[in-house]
Structure 1
């Protein structure tokens, strides 16, 4: 299948090389790579150029999450568009092949893949990944969730309906919701696995969930998130993580991060739902330019060897 990979990036020199090397080692040949750079001051662009990526620039003043993706898709030539974050990398050399396989169904709009964390991710984020990205695929899921850190879309549908450029996040959810309303399908593809790296401090976690909650409020204006929701979800998630950490015998190592991660996650969500200020370019920049389904079934083992990265 003819595909283009679109990568949004800002100062990702630490990670972008591994992603590009993983793309180079895919079973599919001649993959077009588009890097949408939003003002990097490190070696991000030069590293991408060394791998033959096409560079598209977007200024901080223009930046929104949806607009940067639209810039990338507009510059791409593939029939299918793969969106992946610059701080992710594929686990297997058939990542693209697996992510695109569901498009044999001509009525499919989105295929999104499994995400797992690395050694720098907080313990609670690993639990989040396991909850939202289970080990078993769903060829035709019954809800509109998808995630642009690891997803493919049919370009002809994007031409009908581009990503919302006003949202502070969740442009993927808004787009897949539109697709589902139009009668198109969404597939979750567990075999298309990537590692999604984060090394976030408390303020960064709070900021991420705040912007996503603001976006959710834009998508669903009547939705609410009360102090009771904050307390209930914060306490239940923290308790669940502590129990799991105890089962994993890592409670002493991770109990502090569990408390602060879950608190910041839901406090940021509460703040976002109750945000009443202007949603303008300054707010978008503040979010992107920081200052500094579970299943008990066991999936079949994969017969393909993972990519061996040098570092």
Structure 2
């Protein structure tokens, strides 16, 4: 007997390079019935042609809305009882939808099931991408279980949960998943699980990755300022400490000019940053050996500095801008509904 209809929504903007891998993986899912919807957000490459060649239904935004708006538009065209969002740079394992739907059916309090990406990238383009795949995998795999972050690159949720929580906030181009996770976990549980697997085509250029991480760090400050205990399961104190220590190592570097005694401060900060991520460095060493670890550690230090700098910029903006402090105001409250009350 078939289960409930699942609507798989793939938001896309100029990801033709990975889109075919994404859509073919979804067409090969073991679960049925599925309707597959690709929402094209004003692509200028041949993304639409790729989807149409595979026989996938394409919905178009009127203008580039960002991933939040594309997901919301996809939902308005969806008929399924279960919504599955899959980014167009992600390829799911054949049983991903089946496992996620089974987990939702087994627990009425479960509002969303998020996938963990493999430590190998979907498409190997650069060493930066291999760094990011390993770093992202370690951070997510070590956070497996109940979380307050939403990982929307591959996430399944009942339609009634989406209807209750409301749409993704289209004003948030970098942190819509943080906001959505906060709103959802006010009423439901949410899990990150390696039982639902996928591969991600991560950023392959360092500057592009750093810009993204800086923007995300800055934009999260207003929500964290209000919800100090919000980031359950992913952004741990060790990870935050590692980033702050890396920034401190850079900030205190001029002290070296004072002589050997002045070198103590940046050296101590660097050591603290390494110790905060020691488990991750051991993981990378086991998988890739000492030579790659040297490269990995260098890139990760730069990433840590960038994240901390983004947060510092966000704190400064929070003090200076009332508008920035209200960035999440319109979406802090969850819509009441009978379904939500029943799950409480």
- In which range does the TM-score fall when normalised by the shorter chain? 0.7 to 0.9
Are residue 78 (structure 1) and residue 76 (structure 2) matched? Answer: no
Q: Is the alpha carbon distance of 1:153 and 1:218 closer, same or farther for their aligned partners in structure 2, counting shifts above 3 Å?
A: farther
Contact 1:65 1:169 in 2 (8 A): no
How many residues are matched? 273
Contact 1:209 1:266 in 2 (8 A): no
Q: Is the alpha carbon distance of 1:189 and 1:249 closer, same or farther for their aligned partners in structure 2, counting shifts above 3 Å?
A: closer
Contact 2:244 2:305 in 1 (8 A): no
Are residue 270 (structure 1) and residue 275 (structure 2) matched? Answer: no
TM-score (norm 1): 0.76
1:17 maps to which of 2, 5, 20: 20
Alpha-carbon distance in structure 2 between the residues aligned to 1:129 and 1:16: 21
Contact 2:114 2:154 in 1 (8 A): yes
Deviation string 1:231-274 (CA, Å, 9 cap, x unpaired) is 46754466655544444453223523431244135414422551
2:58 aligned partner: 55
1:294 aligned partner: none
Unaligned runs of 5+ in 2: 229-239, 249-268, 325-344
After TM superposition, the structure 1 stretch with the greater mean CA deviation from structure 2, 251-260 or 72-81, is 251-260
After TM superposition, the structure 1 stretch with the greater mean CA deviation from structure 2, 159-168 or 244-253, is 244-253
1:148 aligned partner: 152
State the structure with more CA Rg.
Answer: 2
1:252 aligned partner: 291
Unaligned runs of 5+ in 1: 281-311
Alpha-carbon distance in structure 2 between the residues aligned to 1:227 and 1:265: 7
Alignment map for 1:42-121 (pairs within 5 Å): 42-58=45-61, 62-91=64-93, 93-104=94-105, 105-116=107-118, 117-118=120-121, 119-120=124-125, 121=129
Whose RCO is larger (CA < 8 A, sep 6+)? Answer: 1
TM-score (norm 2): 0.69
Runs of 4 or more, structure 1, over 6 Å off, are 277-280
RMSD over aligned Cα, in angstroms? 3.0
Are residue 166 (structure 1) and residue 205 (structure 2) matched? Answer: no
Structure number having the greater helix percentage: 2
2:211 aligned partner: 207
Alpha-carbon distance in structure 2 between the residues aligned to 1:246 and 1:179: 37
Alignment map for 1:184-203 (pairs within 5 Å): 184-203=188-207
